[in-house]
Chain A
Amino acid sequence: MVIYLRSGGKLRDRLKPDVDIYTRKVEVEGTPTLEEILEEIGIPDGLVAFAFADGKVRRLNYRPVEGDVVTLQPPVSGG
């Protein structure tokens, strides 16, 4: 299954985009959670605040489906 992970900010260096400057194509086997996918590609889950796919917030237990474009939101202080 192929999904696309996107991010900027502090996550972009770790994500190593290969499709465009923000996007990395990731091939995964089975239906892993986002947390498992992040671990596989070497991004500590602590560096992702939440994910955003199809206009909705997704927590790290979300299981992407084929072709999903998942934005990873880095944590930031503020407010």
Chain B
Amino acid sequence: MDGFGGTTLRINLSTEEIERTPTDPEFARSWLGARGFVSKILYDEVPRDADPLGVDNLFIVTTGVLTGSFCPVGSKVGFGCISPATNGHADSSMGGHLGPELRYAGYDLIVMEGIAAGPTYLYIDDDTIELRPAGDYWGMGSLELEKRMKKDLGDDFQIATIGPSGENGIVFSCITHDFGRQAGRCGVGAVMGSKKLKAIAVRGTKSLPVHDLDSMYKLTYDIIQRTKTHPNMAPWQKYGTAFFVGWSNERGCFPTKNFQETYHKDWEKIDGERLVEDCLVSDKACFGCWMNCGKYTRARIPGKPDTYQEGPEYETIALVGGSCAFTDINHVAYANHLLDDIGMDTMSGGSTVAFAMECYQRGIITKDDLEGHELRWGNIDDFEHFVRMIAARRGIGDIFARGTKGAAEALGRGTIDFASQAKGMEFSGYDTRWYPAQLLSYCTCDIGAHHSKSWTITTDIELGRDTIEGKAEVVIYLQHIRPLFDTWSCCRLFWGELDVTPEEHVDSIKHLTGWDVTLEECMRVSERVWNLNRAHFIERNGGPGRKFDVAPARHLDEPIPGGPAEGKVVGRENFEAMLDDYYANRGWDEDGNPTREILDDLGIGYAADNLEKLGFLGKPIPGGIPKVRGRELKPKAM
């Protein structure tokens, strides 16, 4: 099977049975990989009442059709499960080297079920697959463990780990690899921990069969030559994503003090320029990448040991740096290391601490709840103490281990109004009150609020930040094109920044696999995944779908108090109107339930049958569903 490792693994962690089957070509073509594989397998196999941290959830490690190829850049690996944060479909991906290594060992997909009897790690060395005891590793930090396992197994193993956070079921736990790459979102690390799986170690020495090597080589060579001299390459190489802090701040969307404000007056102290000048050790790249946008850094804080970490990148600077109101890039980098090693997503982790800081500011939690400590804005010692309380689930840390939504539900007192989350997952690092399409993107996102599925800050600027007109269609387009890169399992930045087109990615797939595939077909797969995930969410959580597409009160009602976006707020009427527009353009009914017509059109009529049995199938739309769902914005919207 050209373009694929060729083998799918099924591992029962309870019984230690390991089954190897050839990867099904029809399944691969229908779902394309990673996010698509996860969507279909979770929908078909996980009982609707399965506890996300229980024995019936699955834990999936998956590559995509482009993983391990030199198409720019096939470095990604995906993880899937039912999310403990949202109780819905979860997919989260990371770069580095693990995905390609897995493919070079011959595996496209690993589906794990059950729960191991004790701490375990999965060992793969080409054809040798073993579940090995990990008692000695249990309790270790993610970064510390990776170093240890490289020493134990050899530097040529690629290793993914969880930290104490994942072991203890904190719902925003991540999976770490390559000393700083994370599958951060959706709590995939908590599910891995619930399986008692501490790590995955892979060495692969085979190769990928390529259908048309000459054409693949020529296309890749042309792309490399073109992008090497692209004007935007050098700034990317030098600064990575951290450089967007100033821009975001000036645009009035930089989350500050738990999204109370959107302008950080000390932004220059935590911006990318400070990071490069004060902390940079070296650049760092994922598999097969010539961009090197990763920044390996050292944080120095008097009285604390120096730490070395990859990052912080933009999202961490926004949600740890801005949202917790730090004013020293060393503190942000140190916090990045702390969260990475403990095994928490820096985005949801930063947001959860920021949310707790606001609770402390308001007197909702006090020193009595904090083991005598405080929780002051911008204080790294308070930050560290509280993160360790959460990781160990000590005292009130147990409440915040549930994320901002779970904590707000436990705390009451109106705290849910200032928990910036959707469906239980915390917002990415962009305030939405002057960016209505971004609010719509977060609140309709199939995995909970996340920019990776639709990022519309520049769309809002292009179409006008004070209007909602025309936004829903663009959000839908982005919700299909952006996750496609997670499905193909390759880096999105070459498309976003360096003009490598989606069509060129499709050409790579053709050369790799021999498939006669088109971008239109791929976009249709992406839409199929989106709709299947929607049906799955409703089947698990009840309906109607609209009741889950909810925005936090802060982003609807609370005008921004100052800065470039002073006075801006989306408003409930506008938000509901955008939802109406969004559903109509998706072919869903006004309650946000997919209709039979759209599900049949996408080849997933079985989901319509299931929704109908539950009473949540969308009512037929007079005049039928739109022929084209979504609209590409020109000039290009990312």
Residues of A within 8 A of B (CB): 6-14, 22-23, 44, 46-50, 52, 55, 57, 59, 71, 73-79
State whether A79 touches B315 (Cβ < 8 A). Answer: yes
Residues of B within 8 A of A (CB): 230-232, 234-236, 239-244, 246-248, 251, 273, 311-316, 428, 430, 451-452, 455, 457-458, 461-462, 492-493, 496-499, 634-638
Shortest Cβ gap from B347 to chain A (Å): 9
Shortest Cβ gap from B588 to chain A (Å): 26
What 18 new A-B contacts, CB under 8 Å, besides A8-B499, A71-B232, A78-B313? A8-B232, A9-B496, A10-B636, A12-B499, A14-B635, A49-B244, A50-B247, A71-B231, A75-B457, A76-B638, A77-B428, A77-B451, A77-B455, A78-B314, A78-B492, A78-B493, A78-B496, A79-B313
State whether B232 touches A47 (Cβ < 8 A). Answer: no
State whether B235 touches A52 (Cβ < 8 A). Answer: yes
5 contacts between A and B (CB under 8 A): A9-B636, A10-B496, A22-B231, A50-B247, A76-B493
Give every chain B residue within 8 A of A44 (Cβ-Cβ).
Answer: 461-462
* Most B-side CB within 10 Å, residue of A23, A49, A78: A78
Give every chain B residue within 8 A of A46 (Cβ-Cβ).
Answer: 251, 458, 461
State whether B497 touches A74 (Cβ < 8 A). Answer: yes
Which residue of the partner chain A has the closest CB to B251? A46
CA of A67 to CA of B389, assembled, Å: 57
Question: Are A73 and B243 also in contact (CB < 8 A) when A8-B230, A9-B232 are?
Answer: yes
Give every chain A residue within 8 A of B311 (Cβ-Cβ).
Answer: 79
Shortest Cβ gap from A55 to chain B (Å): 8
Question: Are A79 and B242 also in contact (CB < 8 A) when A52-B234, A71-B231 are?
Answer: yes
CA of A60 to CA of B308, assembled, Å: 33
CA of A74 to CA of B241, assembled, Å: 11
Give every chain B residue within 8 A of A73 (Cβ-Cβ).
Answer: 232, 235-236, 243
State whether B458 touches A9 (Cβ < 8 A). Answer: no
CA of A33 to CA of B469, assembled, Å: 33
State whether B635 touches A13 (Cβ < 8 A). Answer: yes
Question: Are A75 and B247 also in contact (CB < 8 A) when A7-B232, A8-B497 are?
Answer: yes
* Most A-side CB within 10 Å, residue of B232, B242, B457, B498: B232
- Nearest 8 Cβ contacts at the A-B interface: A79-B313, A79-B241, A13-B635, A77-B455, A79-B314, A6-B231, A46-B461, A49-B247
Give every chain A residue within 8 A of B451 (Cβ-Cβ).
Answer: 77
CA of A41 to CA of B380, assembled, Å: 45
Which residue of the partner chain B has the closest CB to A70? B231
Give every chain A residue within 8 A of B315 (Cβ-Cβ).
Answer: 78-79
Which residue of the partner chain A has the closest CB to B294? A79
CA of A72 to CA of B261, assembled, Å: 28
CA of A73 to CA of B316, assembled, Å: 21
Which residue of the partner chain A has the closest CB to B314? A79
Give every chain B residue within 8 A of A47 (Cβ-Cβ).
Answer: 458, 461-462
Which residue of the partner chain A has the closest CB to B248? A75
Give every chain B residue within 8 A of A14 (Cβ-Cβ).
Answer: 635
Shortest Cβ gap from B252 to chain A (Å): 10
Shortest Cβ gap from A17 to chain B (Å): 10
Give every chain B residue within 8 A of A57 (Cβ-Cβ).
Answer: 235, 239, 243, 273
Give every chain A residue within 8 A of B314 (Cβ-Cβ).
Answer: 77-79
State whether A10 touches B235 (Cβ < 8 A). Answer: no
Question: Are A79 and B316 also in contact (CB < 8 A) when A50-B247, A73-B232 are?
Answer: yes
Question: Are A74 and B232 also in contact (CB < 8 A) when A9-B499, A10-B635, A50-B246 are?
Answer: yes
Which residue of the partner chain A has the closest CB to B456? A77
Give every chain B residue within 8 A of A12 (Cβ-Cβ).
Answer: 499
* Most B-side CB within 10 Å, residue of A11, A46, A76: A76
Which residue of the partner chain B has the closest CB to A17? B231
Shortest Cβ gap from B580 to chain A (Å): 26
* Most B-side CB within 10 Å, residue of A6, A10, A14, A22: A10
CA of A49 to CA of B428, assembled, Å: 18
The contact of B244 among A8, A23, A75, by CB within 8 Å, is A75
Which residue of the partner chain A has the closest CB to B491? A78
The contact of B241 among A11, A48, A59, A78, by CB within 8 Å, is A78
* Most A-side CB within 10 Å, residue of B311, B315, B458, B492: B458
Which residue of the partner chain A has the closest CB to B311? A79
Shortest Cβ gap from A2 to chain B (Å): 18
State whether B634 touches A79 (Cβ < 8 A). Answer: no
Which residue of the partner chain A has the closest CB to B293? A78
CA of A50 to CA of B498, assembled, Å: 16
CA of A79 to CA of B635, assembled, Å: 24
The contact of B634 among A13, A23, A52, A74, by CB within 8 Å, is A13
Give every chain B residue within 8 A of A75 (Cβ-Cβ).
Answer: 244, 247-248, 457-458
State whether A79 touches B240 (Cβ < 8 A). Answer: yes
Give every chain A residue within 8 A of B236 (Cβ-Cβ).
Answer: 73
* Most A-side CB within 10 Å, residue of B235, B240, B316: B235
Give every chain B residue within 8 A of A9 (Cβ-Cβ).
Answer: 232, 496-499, 636
